[in-house]
Amino acid sequence: MKWRRIPAQTTTLRSALPRSLDGGDVGAILIHGFTGTPRDLGGLGEALQRRGLTVRIPRLPGHGTNGMDFLGSGWRDWLRCAADAFADLRGPCRRVHLVGYSMGGNLAVLVASRFAVQRLVLLAPALRTRNPLLPLSPLLSLLIARVRWPLAGSAVIDDEDSAVLAREYWQWRYPAQAASLLHLKRMARRALRTVTADTLTVTGAKDLSVPPSVIRLIEERRESGAREHLVIEEGTHQLLSGQGGERVVAAVTQWLLEG
């Protein structure tokens, strides 16, 4: 992280704070996505806690604060945060599961390729993406730090924190951070062969960011461990908050309880 880029007045949004939900001796780490926050996985975390799991939802560096803070973060910071969260939970828990959403899925794959993860859940993992500009991000990052971008029609702005996220993150494109996402995508695709954890992949048939064909990629590159998948026909990239969200939460909860 580039320390000097962080504005002195930086604060974390209340809804973006890391979440620590205590339960039994089986744990789960939930990792949010690019420009997301722990709130995106809060409902799933609470459902898992109600079923007895100890849950941690870390906040990835540069997320949930402001755009200038985000500019100072990158893939090394995000991956180290995910690895630290896993290491912290290994002590009190006899088994630890991993759940990654979107870019968090890439981070989860990398952590699972290094450590003994019991079960792995990939929610719309950004191992395959539809964005045609993503491969250009390393070059663009040499020219511009960020550029204003029209807000996506799927963005829901219904509270003050969402308005801040829209102003600081969603209405901009950050080429250097997109290049970090691209790097994680490439790393995670290579790492799939060394992942041994039983894996559930969930995608949305109407996802405009991550196509359901990511399931085939995972099936082709995995060499061990059980694999299951679920396609939500009405699902978009917002798998947990959109239509079919309750079905996703129930499926993930059941999968992890069986592990």
pLDDT greater than 90 at residue 1:
no
Q: Residue 83 contacts by C-beta under 8 Å, 6 or more apart in sequence?
A: 111, 114, 115
Q: What are the pLDDT digits (tens) for 187-217?
A: 999 999 999 999 999 999 999 999 999 999 9
pLDDT greater than 80 at residue 152:
no
Average pLDDT of the chain?
94
State the average pLDDT over residues 120-136.
96
State how far the Cα of 179 lies from the Cα of 202, in Å rounded to an integer: 25
Give phi and psi for 121, each to the nearest 5.
-120, 125
State how far the Cα of 189 lies from the Cα of 213, in Å rounded to an integer: 14
pLDDT at 154: 61
Of the two residues 240 and 7, the one the predictor is more confident about is 240
pLDDT at 243: 80
pLDDT at 220: 92
pLDDT greater than 90 at residue 153:
no
pLDDT at 193: 95
pLDDT greater than 70 at residue 155:
no
pLDDT grade, residue 2 (50/70/90)?
low
pLDDT grade, residue 3 (50/70/90)?
low
**Nearest in space to 190 (alpha carbons), one of 81, 64, 88, 106:** 106
pLDDT greater than 70 at residue 158:
yes
Return the structure tokens found at 153: 């029609």
pLDDT at 110: 98
Instruction: Tell me the sheet residues that pair with 28.
Output: 55, 97
Q: Residue 178 contacts by C-beta under 8 Å, 6 or more apart in sequence?
A: 133, 134, 137, 140, 141
State the average pLDDT over residues 12-32.
97
Instruction: For domain 17-132+185-257, say whether CATH 3.30.420.40 is its number.
Output: no
pLDDT grade, residue 117 (50/70/90)?
very high
What residue ranges do the domains of the chain occupy? 17-132+185-257
Lowest model confidence (mean pLDDT) among 41-45, 95-99, 152-156: 152-156
Of the two residues 226 and 249, the one the predictor is more confident about is 249
pLDDT greater than 80 at residue 150:
yes
State the average pLDDT over residues 99-117.
97
Q: What are the pLDDT digits (tens) for 53-102?
A: 999 999 999 999 999 999 999 999 999 999 999 999 999 999 999 999 99
pLDDT at 157: 75
